[in-house]
Structure formats: C-alpha cells, structure tokens
Amino acid sequence: MPTSFAALMKRASRRRVEEDLRASGFVSRSRPATLVLLVVTALLSYQGFAVESEWLDMEGRIEYAFYTEDARALRDIAAQLARNEATQEPLSAYYAGLANYRLALVLASRDKEHAKDAIERCIDRLSGSLKAQPDFAPALALQSACLRTASILSPWNPLAGTRSAGQMARASKLAPRDPRVLLLQALEKGESGPIDDEALAKLQEAAAAFEAERHAVEHAPRWGAAEAYAHLGRGYLERGDVLAARDALERALLIAPDFALARRLLMEITSG
C-alpha cells in the first residue's frame, strides 16, 4: 500500500534528526538515544498532524469553490498554490492539480479554451507530485481524470486517452479500494457522460469506500464523497429509479449542502 506524503515527511525528518543528534553528541548516558528519539517522534507526529490539517483546510476551500461553481475562487486558489511550488512540498503540487481539475470542470460548459488551459495545468502539476512520490495512487488517478478530460476537450489529442488509461491502471493496482480511485474510475466516460451498469457498480463501491473512510483516521486527501453520491443519484435517475436517486442526492447534500450539481439533480425530481 502506498505511503502517505505525511508519513514520508515524518520518516525522512526522523532520519535527519537521528543523524544530527548523534553527530552533535547530544545523545549521551544522561540522555539515552531511546528517550531522546521518543521525544523527537512525538514532536514529529504533532508536526505531521499540523501539516495534514493545513492541507485538509486547503482541500475544503477547493471543494467549496467547486460545489458552488465559483471559477474565480478556484483560479485564486490555483494561483496561490502555484506560488508555493518553490517549497517543493508534494501535496502542494497535488492540490494545485486538484484546483485546476475542479476549475476545468466548472469552465467546461462556459469557457472551453480556459478549461483546456486549466486541465493542462492539472496534468503538469500532478507530474510534479508524482515525481516526488511515483506510487501515490490518488495523484495517478487524478492525473488520469485530467488526461481523460483533456481528450474530451481536445478530441484531436488521442494520446491523452491512452495515457489516462495507463495512469488509472497503475492507480487501481496500487490502491484498489481507495475511494477517490474508485470514483474517478467510475467517471471514465467524463463527468457529464452516461453512467452504464459498470460505472454504476463502481460508484456504489466508491460510496461504500467513502463511508468506511469516514470512520477512519482523518488524512489528506479526503475529497470526493459528495461527488460520488451525486453521480450515483444521476445514474439512478438515468434508470428511472427516482427513490434511489433521491436518497443518493440527499446524502450528497448532507455532506455538501451547497453542491450545485446535486441541487439541480434533486430539483429535476421535485419539479417533475
């Protein structure tokens, strides 16, 4: 199973601290290595928790802007993260990719040219994330989604579709139960494309994985649950199963009350 960015950071930091402590002579008979390293481990664990919290806050900003279809806010967040790339933090590149992916989805029906620009930035930013951690399954799956969206926005670019399939295959092999991998697999025909029986089954699997994640220790990334339920509702609507669609859409809105897509789909039911 792929190691999280926070775990990698803590592991690398601990090694550096151990080496520095021994080189400086700080470890001694009065300060045994075990005791010193226990304290260091506790401090690094707190540091890792703080880093995770900061990125989850950033994720919340991205998702709220996406739910409310606020292109301007998404542009601002993407620009802020681009300025942070000099820090070489892998999660900075990952969330820059997510912000641009969300921006492309919001712009796809309004401003196709700028949507293309955003999706190219998504692909580029995620390449940076994967350079830092090649086996990070959520980044592989997200880049696959961006490549797929690029092939839809620019049909003359068939290589994007081929690369998309390759990245998703790697992500699925690394983390077959990751809810974001399952969600993006289900949407392989596009976020507005038809939901066939295989995609519906994958969305049901993704929803179950998100429910399991909700009871687990919080870590970044965490996004996607509301989207899984919204698309699940869309799939049920396509089949005329109004009750199941309503249940799924209400669940999406319970998670994200401002989710415009889920609100529109629910309106189709209540007004029809």
- CATH number of the domain that 81 lies in? 1.25.40.10
pLDDT, tens digit (0-9, with 9 covering 90-100), for 171-201: 999 999 999 999 999 999 889 899 999 999 9
Within-domain flag for 190: yes
* Residue range(s) defining the domain that contains residue 188: 5-223
Within-domain flag for 60: yes
Within-domain flag for 231: no
What is the C-alpha to C-alpha distance for residues 225 and 252, in angstroms, rounded to an integer?
Answer: 7
Is the peptide bond prior to 221 cis by the omega test (within 30 degrees of 0)?
A: yes
Q: How many CB atoms lie within 10 A of CB 159?
A: 10
Within-domain flag for 265: no
Within-domain flag for 228: no
Which pTM does this prediction carry?
0.81
Within-domain flag for 242: no
What is the C-alpha to C-alpha distance for residues 168 and 174, in angstroms, rounded to an integer?
Answer: 10
Nearest alpha-carbon partner for 218 in 94, 64, 60: 60
Within-domain flag for 58: yes
Tokens of 14: 């601990």
How many domains are there within the chain? 1
pLDDT, tens digit (0-9, with 9 covering 90-100), for 64-111: 999 999 999 999 999 999 987 665 677 899 999 999 999 999 999 999
Q: Which DSSP state fits 216?
A: S
Within-domain flag for 35: yes
